[in-house]
Chains A and B, each alone.
Chain A
Amino acid sequence: MNAEFLALAQMAVGGGLMGMAYALVAYGFQLTYAAGKAVNFGQGELVMLGAFTGLSLIGIGLPYWAAVPVAMVAGAALGWFVERAAVRLALQQRNEGWILLTIIVGLFGVSAAENIWGRDDKPFPVPWPEGALEFFGISVTWPELAIASGALGIMALVELAKRYTMLGIAVQAVSADPDAAELCGIRSKSAISLSWAVSGAAAAFAGTIIAPVTTVGPTMAAALTLKAFSVAVVAGLDSGFGLVLAGIALGSAENLSGFLLGSGWREAPGLILLILALALRPQGIFGKKIIRKV
Chain B
Amino acid sequence: MLVRVNLGLREKTAERVMRLTLFFCLAALPLLWHGEYALGLLTLMAVYGVLLIGLDATVGYLGQINLAHAALFGLGAYGAALAIQSEVPLPLALLVGIAAALIPGAVLALPALRLEGPQFALSTLSFATLTVIFLNESESVTNGALGLSIIRPSLFTIVLNSTRFYWLCLLVLFVTWWASQLLLRSRFGLAIEALRDSPTATDALGIGTLRHKILAFAWGSALAGLAGALHAINFGYLQPAAFGYDLMVILLLGVVFGGRRNQWGAFAGAAVVTMLPNLLSNRTLFSSLVTFGCLLAIVSPIRTLLSRKMPSFRQTAPVAAMGGALALALFASNVEEWRKGIFALFLFAAVVGLPDGIAGALTAILRKVICFAPDPLPVATGGIQPAKNGAGLALQALNLCKSFGGVKAVDNVTLEIITGETHGLIGPNGSGKTTLVNLISGLYKADSGSVEISGVRPIPGSLMSACSAGSARTFQNLQPFSGLTALESIMVCQRYGGISEAMGWLHVVGLEAKARLRCSEMSYGDLRFLEIARALATRPYVLMLDEPAAGMSKPDIIRLVDLVTSIKRAGITILLIEHHQDVVAELCDRVSVMDGGQLIALGTSDQVRRNPKVIEAYLGSDETAIQAKSEIGAQLC
Contacts and interface: CB of A to CB of B under 8 A. Distances in A.
Contact of A282 (B119, B313, B314, B438): B119
Contacts of B125: 226, 229
B565 interface: no
Contacts of A104: 344, 347-348, 351
B130 A271 contact: yes
B112 A291 contact: no
Contact of B249 (A105, A107, A292): A107
Top 8 A-B pairs ranked by shortest CB distance?
A: A279-B111, A111-B341, A108-B344, A111-B340, A271-B126, A107-B344, A264-B137, A99-B65
A89 B352 contact: yes
Given A89-B352, A104-B351, A111 B65 contact: no
B512 to A, nearest CB: 28
A196 interface: no
Given A101-B351, A107-B249, A264-B137, A294 B479 contact: yes
Contacts of B475: 294
A268 B344 contact: no
Given A85-B317, A89-B313, A100-B252, A108 B129 contact: no
A88 B352 CA distance: 11
Given A233-B122, A264-B137, A294-B477, 17 more contacts: A41-B121, A85-B348, A89-B314, A96-B121, A100-B256, A107-B249, A108-B341, A108-B348, A115-B332, A271-B126, A271-B130, A274-B123, A275-B111, A275-B130, A279-B111, A279-B112, A282-B119
A39 interface: yes
Interface string A86-100: 101100000111011
Nearest to B337: A115
14 contacts: A86-B348, A97-B351, A103-B249, A105-B344, A107-B347, A108-B344, A115-B337, A268-B130, A268-B133, A275-B111, A275-B130, A278-B119, A279-B123, A293-B477
Contacts of B121: 41, 96, 99
A226 B343 contact: no
Nearest to A107: B344
A112 interface: yes
B150 interface: no
Nearest to A278: B123
A292 B348 contact: no
B174 interface: no
A42 to B, nearest CB: 10
A195 interface: no
A13 interface: no
Interface in A252-294: 262, 264-265, 267-268, 271-272, 274-275, 278-280, 282, 291-294
B327 interface: no
Interface in B22-68: 63-65
Contacts of A282: 114-115, 119
B476 interface: yes
A101 B252 CA distance: 11
Q: What's the dominant secondary structure at chain B's contact region?
A: helix
A140 interface: no
A105 B348 contact: yes
Interface string B338-350: 1111111101100
Interface in A15-65: 38-39, 41
B131 to A, nearest CB: 10
B355 to A, nearest CB: 8
B117 interface: yes
A175 interface: no
Interface string A64-98: 00000000000000000000011011000001110
A150 B262 CA distance: 50
Contact of A101 (B63, B137, B200, B348): B348
Contacts of B252: 100, 103
A233 B122 CA distance: 9
Interface string A170-207: 00000000000000000000000000000000000000
A108 B119 contact: no
A230 interface: yes
A274 B126 contact: yes
Nearest to B138: A264
B226 interface: no
Given A268-B133, A278-B111, A95 B63 contact: yes
Contacts of B314: 89
A280 B115 CA distance: 11
Nearest to B345: A108
Interface string B302-337: 000000000001100100000000000000100001
Contacts of B479: 294
Given A100-B347, A104-B348, A105-B348, A114 B337 contact: yes
Contacts of B340: 107-108, 110-111, 114
Contacts of A233: 119, 122
B474 to A, nearest CB: 10
A89 to B, nearest CB: 6
Contacts of A110: 340
A155 to B, nearest CB: 21
A97 B475 CA distance: 28
A44 B32 CA distance: 50
B137 A265 contact: yes
A99 B476 contact: no
Nearest to B473: A294
A222 interface: yes
Given A110-B340, A115-B337, A291-B404, A275 B126 contact: yes
A37 B121 CA distance: 14
A225 to B, nearest CB: 8
A272 B130 contact: yes
Interface in B231-258: 245, 249, 252, 256
B117 A99 contact: yes
B287 interface: no
Contacts of A96: 63-65, 117-118, 121
A267 B131 CA distance: 12
B500 interface: no
Contact of B341 (A89, A100, A115, A279): A115
Contacts of B313: 88-89
Given A89-B314, A104-B351, A294-B443, A267 B123 contact: no
B62 to A, nearest CB: 10
Contacts of A262: 137
Contacts of B111: 275, 278-280
A229 B355 CA distance: 28
B136 interface: yes
B505 interface: no
B291 interface: no
Contacts of B166: none
B462 interface: no
B468 interface: no
Given A95-B63, A108-B345, A267 B115 contact: no
A39 B118 contact: yes
B264 interface: no
Contacts of A274: 122-123, 126
Contacts of B114: 279, 282
